[in-house]
Structure 1
Amino acid sequence: MLRNNRGGFSLIELLVAMAIFAFLLALAIPAFSGWLQNMQIRNAAESIQNGLQQARTEALRRNTTVRFQLTTSVTNSCAISTGQANWVVNLGSSTTNDPTGQCGAVMPATVSQWIATNAPFILQTFSASGSPNVVAASNGGAANWLVVFGSLGQVVWPTASSTQWDLSNPTGGACASASGPMTCMRILVSNNGRIRMCNPNLASGTPQGC
């Protein structure tokens, strides 16, 4: 007599498999969460680096001074940042065309001529909404939230020293340099206009170290 064997799992086997899956998921969630928090830092740092490079390129192309500043937002309620990673690029110097309160004035690229002829002459804005937990710390005073590139690509403001912004994510934890889980990043802008992103936890002699 042939026995009719039916494939499939018993209830006990299914419960055991679900328990193992739940255990593995519980182990993976913290690691995945930490990866996401680290990615916020990386994304914010790359966007700031790209914005600075664009500002320098525009200064060279237009043969004039171009501002880059971190701002609290990119709406008309914006102010010069005290820690956020949003940014605005516009025509102007350290004393002219401050976009504070006018960051929402940027127009679509199809009317770029309007942008170039109407104050505050905003060329581009970037919202750090994708990295809401990232905090930017300056190595100096409020002036260091603003970098102005000259027509030769050099930094004409601030004049005293190079600019440094440290990007961290307190929500994810302390930086690796403080024995925490976060890979914090640093943006450096030298007086000659060199823009660099580096990892302050790595030795200065290494390619990505500060």
Structure 2
Amino acid sequence: MTLRNQQGVTLVELLVAITIFAIVVAIAVPTFKEANERNQIKTVARQIKDELAKARITAMEKNTPVLLAFPAPNGDSSRSYQISVDSNDNCEVDGGEERKQIDMGKVFFSNNTLTKNTAGDHILQWDTRGYPQKKDGSFTNGTITISAFDNQFEIIISRVGNIRINKP
């Protein structure tokens, strides 16, 4: 058998194939990373939307106001929020009230237009009919803006309690 009859690839062909593969991987990896980061923040936005909806339902079922307290945007402390059954209807997170703290990991609040309470937290309170309201009892709407990894999402609450997610 002569060498001309043998089949296979040469070293040069193998190096060309490996180089092309390396170029494709170098282009694809950053794209996958960006997609993963975008999905992480979108997941948190959906989680907040779901928690808002659950809090609204809880307020109507228990016939007692439920509030969500979002911290003012200021670094690490703005990476979590609280849900509290506001049993004394004062639009404040008080000791003794049933509450839950939710951590958002790497995502943080970058801005929101909710009403501030005396503690400086941005508060959304659901009344017993499922409407968002301010401390003075008037109905309100607002936007919760979260961001991470150069991505941003808004959770928008209407005056009648509708909740939606928007990518600005």
Same fold (TM over 0.5): yes
- Aligned twin of 1:154: 131
RMSD (Å) for aligned C-alpha atoms: 2.8
- Aligned twin of 1:36: 36
- Aligned twin of 1:126: 102
Change (3 A) 1:149 1:14: same
- Aligned twin of 1:168: 147
Q: Equivalences for 1:70-149 in 2 at 5 Å?
A: 70=70, 80-82=71-73, 84-92=78-86, 93-98=89-94, 119-122=96-99, 124-129=100-105, 132-139=106-113, 142-143=116-117, 145-149=122-126
Aligned residues between the structures: 158
Aligned residue identity for 2:24: L
Counterparts of 2:47 and 2:24, CA distance in 1: 34
The answer (yes or no) to whether the contact 1:161–1:191 under 8 Å persists in 2 is yes
How far does the alpha carbon of each residue in 1:91-135 deviate from its partner, in whole angstroms, 9 at most, with x for none?
114444346xxxxxxxxxxxxxxxxxxx2312x443212xx1444
Query: Where does the alignment leave 5 or more consecutive residues of structure 2 unmatched?
Result: none
How far does the alpha carbon of each residue in 1:19-76 deviate from its partner, in whole angstroms, 9 at most, with x for none?
1111011111221222122112211211110110011010011000111123xxxxxx
Q: Percent identity at matched positions? A: 23
Counterparts of 1:94 and 1:5, CA distance in 2: 89
Counterparts of 1:62 and 1:146, CA distance in 2: 19
- Aligned twin of 1:58: 58
1:198 paired with 2:159, answer no
Normalising by structure 2, we get a TM-score of: 0.76
Counterparts of 1:141 and 1:157, CA distance in 2: 7
Structure of larger gyration radius: 2
Normalising by structure 1, we get a TM-score of: 0.63
The answer (yes or no) to whether the contact 2:115–2:134 under 8 Å persists in 1 is no
